[in-house]
Amino acid sequence: MERWQNRVAVVTGASSGIGAAIAKDLVMAGLKVVALARRVPRMQLLRDSLPIEKRSQLIIMQCDVTDLNNVDRVFDEIISKLGGIDILVNNAASLKNGLLSTMDIKEVQEVLNTNVLSVVHCTQRAFKSMKDRNFNGHIIIVNSIAGHNVLAGLPQSVPSINIYSPTKFAITAITEMYRQEFHGLGTKIKISSISPGFVDTELLFDELRQAVSHCLLQSSDVSNAVLYMLSTPPHVQIHEMIIKPLGEAV
């Protein structure tokens, strides 16, 4: 991780779960981290949990990644104050309980905006910052096992994952598109997707949590994998990493 010392990493969805774990571990690894989320008090608690000498390395900014203007204002401020973005971790995600055939279309749109469009928008901003400075940065997208297998419903029930799995399938394809584009544009910017199985976070609704409670990853497991991706030498790119809890049936 030596090459990333004092570099700027931006982590979306950093107020809880995987995003909070990644932001904390990146700070502890010597990076300057900009934590983005809507829930500022939760990020303040995260900063307070850091050793005193590390707290100044976690910069908190309120950001709704589904609001294009909000994202642009935040990224403009990051670039203006910190000089640029060296690492982007697209972690923000949304999962709604319901059936795709009957649920409110506004909830479907919210998941699409969070899981797909915000990734594209944030990646565009980070990529431009890296390319303008001729810096070989790294963009990581937190995908899901649901982006490789359409998740079935619980036993003797109708599936309730709805649009979530299709959005993650889109991320799988988008990651490959970025790989081809980044190479075609003559950059050495890395793009990586990490696809965890079920993780013990707030994203899981109660019925699903009860069904898989015996077989869950922790947020720290995903964060450790992200640190491994970043620690690879410049000529190595982990394009896709799938991690599952031992015994997961998906």
User: Hey, which residues are catalytic here?
Assistant: 164
Residue 195, helix vs strand vs coil: strand
What is the C-alpha radius of gyration for the chain, rounded to an integer number of angstroms? Answer: 18
Burial class of residue 26 (count of CB atoms within 10 Å of its CB; 0-12, 13-18, 19+) = buried
Q: Considering only CA atoms, which of 162, 160, 122 is closest in space to residue 141?
A: 122
Residue 203 near residue 13, CB atoms below 8 Å:
no
Burial class of residue 106 (count of CB atoms within 10 Å of its CB; 0-12, 13-18, 19+) = exposed
Residue 84 near residue 130, CB atoms below 8 Å:
yes
The length of the chain, given as a count of residues:
250
Instruction: For residue 69, count other CB atoms closer than 10 A to its CB.
Output: 8
SS (H, E, C) 191-233: EEEEEECCECCCCCCHHHHHHHCCCCECHHHHHHHHHHHHHCC
**Which residue, chain included where needed, has tokens 């990020």?**
43
Percentages helix, strand, coil for the chain, rounded to the nearest 5? Answer: 45, 15, 40
> Which residues are 209's β-sheet partners?
none
Residue 37 near residue 15, CB atoms below 8 Å:
yes
